[in-house]
Amino acid sequence: MTDKITLVEAVNQALHHAMTNDPDVVVLGEDVGVNGGVFRATQGLKEQFGFRRVMDTPLAEALIAGVSIGMATQGLKPVAEIQFMGFIFPALEQLMCHAARMRNRTRGRLTCPLVVRAPFGGGIHAPEHHSESTEALFAHIPGFRVVIPSSPKRAYGLLLAAIQDPDPVLFFEPKRIYRASKQVVPNDGEPLPLDICFTLKEGHDVTLISWGASVQETLQAAKQLEETGISAEVIDLASIKPIDYDTILASVQKTGRCVIVHEAARTGAVSADIAAEISYHAAVELEAPVERVTGYDITMPYYRMEQYYIPSKGDIINAVNKTMEQA
């Protein structure tokens, strides 16, 4: 029987499978080799695949991105690790101005099959620059796919799909749930489809949409709401860019209500885009305005205040009850 594994172990398993079956897949980043990565996502890879395919780099994110783009345009499939999302900004010029534009700039002559992995979000009592949740920033840039898993199974399948994608994928891993739960994840090399969301629970009174670590609180809220007679449908967005609006609109047209939950700051968030699309395409079916439960427009607080920033189960239940009061 296959053992259950955590989300970070599922990332390691996917990398191991991809590297075993495709000699073009290489891994690079700070401490990914000898130390196995800051969260041990790459543990054991250097011992098995050697230093030519698992490369420790200097502490230089722009270099990591630039070298990866060069590799990708010349036939390799680099998987670059940025230790924390808050460290990715020195690499933005390379990613935004080169990786994201490669297919367009060369009129399809070159693609950029690059995956950039980065842990993101709060909840582990980390210092400044270690708890960012700026996925909306990257979703705004044409040329990127932005993917966020919320369970070990989806981490494994979506990472394999990202590695196989011919264009750049930003793969943000919710570190708060790296080791929060375990699942049996068959190491069968089966990718999950990109660009779709996953319906985790069927319901008929309200649609709850979330991604990353917040999916956990959203599922807990749905369970508690069920005990009060409110049937919530729970959708894991998974692909932040592009967004699977077919699934979202079908659900909202069925339930008539929607609450979107995420830990990123409120202004300019992905939830605002989803709410606008729902309002445009499902206005007739909506029985209440779309509610958003989000983080705040401030820097993520230090650990003593972190719990007040991250949306809680109670926050989600309150938002759902607010929508239910409007009929």
**Active site residue ranges:** 130
Q: What is the DSSP letter of 256?
A: S
| Cα 152 to Cα 179: distance, rounded to the nearest angstrom | 9
Q: What is the DSSP letter of 101?
A: T
CA angle at residue 148 from 265 to 297, to 5 degrees?
5
Q: How large is the angle between the packed helices 7-21 and 152-164, nearest 10 degrees?
A: 30
Residue 235 vs residues 203, 206, 224: alpha-carbon distances, Å: 10, 11, 16
CB under 8 A, 24+ apart: contacts of 100-105: 100/141, 100/142, 100/143, 100/144, 100/168, 101/143, 102/69, 102/72, 102/73, 102/143, 102/168, 103/143, 103/167, 104/143
| Cα 159 to Cα 148: distance, rounded to the nearest angstrom | 9
| Cα 28 to Cα 101: distance, rounded to the nearest angstrom | 22
Sign of the dihedral through C-alpha 213, 219, 225, 227? negative
| Cα 289 to Cα 255: distance, rounded to the nearest angstrom | 13
| Separation of first and last alpha carbons in the chain | 50
